[in-house]
Amino acid sequence: MSLRFEVDAVVLDIEGTTSATGFVVDVLYPYSRSRFAALLAERADDPEVARAVAGVRELLGEPDADAVRVEKALGQWLDEDRKATPLKTLQGIVWSEGFARGELVSHFYDDVVPVLRRWHADGVHLHVYSSGSVAAQRAWFTSSPEGDLLPLVSGLYDTENAGPKQEPESYRRIAAATGGVPERLLFLSDRPGELDAARAAGWHAVRIRRPGEPYYEQDLGGHPEAGTFDEITISARSNP
C-alpha cells in the first residue's frame, strides 16, 4: 500500500511504530524494574522522584504508601504495560542514566531511520508523541544504533506536557505548541485509540501495522494503514 500526504509535520509514536514493543518490554522494562528500589530508597528527596512518587500515591488513592508499596505498584503497572505518567517519569530517570552510561542502546525498525532522514532533509518537521517521558524520548533518539538522531526531531511530547494519548485535546495541544494547523499534521501510531483521537482533532492519521506487534490483529478504526514507513510519501509545503 502506498500513501501520500501533503503535511508540514509528522508526529511519531515510538513503541509499536518506530520501534519494537518486544524490545521495550524485554529490555527496558526489566532494566527499570531492577533499579526502582534503589531509586526510591536513595533519591527520595530528588524533586522529580518525589513528584512521581506523589503521583503514584495519588493514582493508588493511598497518600501514605511507603517505598515498598510504591515499588510494588510500579511492578504491577509494568506487568500490565500500564502507561501511568509517574511510572513513565521514574522509568525516564533510570533509562536516561542507562543510555548515558552506554548500558542501553535503543531500537528502531530497519525501515524507520532512512525514511526519517529523508523526510527531515525534505523539510518535514518531525515530532515525537509517546507515553515514554520526554527524558526517555530524548535518550532514545540520542542513543540509537545509528548514532544520535535527536537533531532530526523538533519537538518531544508525552502524557505530561500534552496529555493522554487517547484524548483529542492532547492533539490540539500539540498542534498549538508546534504552530501547526491540524490538517497539515500527520500522526503515525500502532494503536487505534490514539489514531481515533488524532483524527477527531482534525489530523491525518496512519496506522502502522507491523506483524508481531500487540495491536496487529485488532481490526478497528478504519484508518489508512502502512506496514512500513517506506509506504508513506510526504510532500512538505517548502518542497512540493
Please say which residue, 137 or 178, places its beta carbon nearer to ligand L4RZE5RM.
137
- Report the distance separating Cα 147 and Cα 20, nearest Å: 18
Output DSSP code: residue 127.
Answer: E
Nearest to ligand L4RZE5RM of 229, 236 (CB atom): 229
Residue closer to ligand L4RZE5RM by CB (options 165, 172) is 165
How does DSSP assign 76-106, residue by residue? Answer: HHHHHT---HHHHHHHHHHHHHHHHTTS---
Residue of the chain from 8, 9, 10, 16 that contacts ligand L4RZE5RM (CB under 6 A): 16
Does 118 help bind ligand L4RZE5RM (rule: CB under 6 A)?
no
DSSP labels, 188-215: EES-HHHHHHHHHTT-EEEEE--TTSTT
Q: How far is the CB of 12 from ligand L4RZE5RM (least distance, A)?
A: 8
CB of 20 to Mg ion, least distance (A): 11
The C-alpha cell of 158 is what?
508525552
Phi, psi of 187 (to 5 degrees): -105, 135
Report which DSSP code applies to 216. Answer: T
Which H helix or E strand runs over 217? none
Residues of 159-184 as b/e, b for ≥16 C-beta within 10 angstroms? beebbebbbbebbbbbbeebebebeb
Q: For ligand L4RZE5RM, give the closer residue by CB, 35 or 235.
A: 35
143 binds, among ligand L4RZE5RM, Mg ion, none (CB under 5 to 8 A by kind): none
Residue 130 binds ligand L4RZE5RM, judged by CB under 6 A:
yes
Identity of the residue, 49 or 201, whose beta carbon is nearer to Mg ion in the bound complex: 201
At residue 232, the 3 state secondary structure works out as strand
Cβ at position 216, least distance to ligand L4RZE5RM in Å: 14
**Contacts with ligand L4RZE5RM in 21-40 (CB under 6 A)?**
24, 28
Nearer to ligand L4RZE5RM, 19 or 178 (CB): 19
Binding site for ligand L4RZE5RM (CB under 6 A): 13-16, 24, 28, 83, 91, 130-132, 136-137, 140, 165
